[in-house]
Chains A and B, each alone.
Chain A
Amino acid sequence: MEKEARKAPGLLGQAWLILLLAAFFGSSLAGVEIALKPRIERNKRNETFGQIPFLVPGGSSQKSVETRMGGIRVIRVLSDKGDHLGWVLPASGQGFADRIELLVGLDRKAERITGLYVLDQKETPGLGSHIQDKDGFLRGFEGQPADKSLRVVKGRPAPHSGGIRAITGATISSLSVCNIVNRAVRDFRKALAGSEGKD
């Protein structure tokens, strides 16, 4: 091995090579960034804004804007024509396994919940993960009153009574989602009332 005597250039040559490589890597990274950045940004925006039509009926993903109200981050949902239809409220909190991130759809006066979507969750697969079932658990939140706290019940609750049917084997996950929604909606209603008082 040693005898092979690599024709390694001197220190100066190596320094140049490393500079050259660094320039090459740097420019390729810059190229990737410039080419892909808009797309990545769009994907990120779509993750939240893409859900708006399903959370607030008639809402537009393009027109709606993110604002702050009393320090709370909220999306003001507008229709295609620019009419104010409602709100989408990002909410998060501790679930059974890890944090759960939700989007809560509310009507214009924040009196009713119009929809719920799970952005991120790591609950137990097959049990707690059912909190993201659009036709099951999440459907139960649609049309619920927002002025009183939702509670988890076992068995079938009366429609729009503030009762949410617990998922079998995942009571804590169900309860966590309810609590996160309750807290976020309560805080937001307070902020909304405060801002309307000022106007």
Chain B
Amino acid sequence: MVDSGPTALERFINGILPENPTYRQLLGMCPTLAVTNGLKPALTMAGATAFVLICANFITSLIRNALKPHLRILVFTLTIATFVTIADRFLQAFMPAMSKVLGPYVPLIIVNCIIIARCEVCASKQPVGTALADALGCSLGFALGLASIASVREILGTGCLLGARVLPEAWPNWGIMVLPPGAFLTLGLLLGLVEWAGAARKKAGGNQG
């Protein structure tokens, strides 16, 4: 393999915006919709996912040359499930209230496509440093995606952000935003917005060039 693909730094940056897992690749949709009714659960979720992603990428990259493909998937799953269990127990022990709010969505990280995709696409072929940079970038991108949706929903739904009031007292809380339909509507509109901004920028770039 002559062409080694993007460097570690490029991968790190790629994960955040150009290949944002939420808006660009539409990966990991369950947590994106389910835990974004407040900024705090969204950030906790992003943290837990980041922990699992970084650890899984690290282990996968360490053993990348030692395994045949069909065994590899098995080992990925084993790795991911182990780290998710650890993350889940830590949440239960140190943030019991938050663990109750997140409920089944913490163990559902096991089947989060972002982690399997990053392990398979990147970490199983790259050295440890690159794999870690990739995981870090992806986690930040995912956190950004979750935080943006959660902020919109929490502000419109309750008039507060992280419990602190941002909109005037007179704001009629849009209850629907913190309910399931609000998740679909917010993500749909934000996706449209990102697409639209991307298209507009491309157009502007084309005119200049």
Contacts and interface: CB of A to CB of B under 8 A. Distances in A.
Interface of A: 1, 4, 6-9, 13-14, 17-18, 21-22, 25, 28-29, 32-33, 36, 39-40, 43-44, 46-47, 124-127
B89 A8 contact: no
Interface of B: 1, 37, 63, 65-68, 71, 74-75, 78-79, 82, 85-86, 89-90, 92-94, 96, 157-158, 173, 175, 178-179
26 contacts: A8-B65, A8-B67, A9-B66, A14-B66, A14-B67, A17-B63, A17-B67, A18-B75, A22-B78, A25-B82, A29-B82, A29-B86, A32-B89, A32-B90, A33-B89, A40-B89, A40-B96, A43-B92, A46-B96, A47-B96, A124-B179, A125-B157, A125-B175, A125-B178, A126-B175, A127-B175
Contacts of A7: 65
Contacts of A22: 78
Nearest to B175: A126
- Secondary structure at the A interface, as helix, strand, loop or mixed, is helix
Contacts of B179: 124-125
B92 A40 contact: yes
Contacts of B89: 32-33, 36, 40
Highest count of chain A CB atoms <10 Å: which of B78, B86, B158: B86
Contacts of A46: 96
Contacts of A1: 1
A40 B178 CA distance: 29
A177 to B, nearest CB: 20
A130 to B, nearest CB: 12
Contacts of A13: 66
B93 A25 contact: no
A36 B78 contact: no
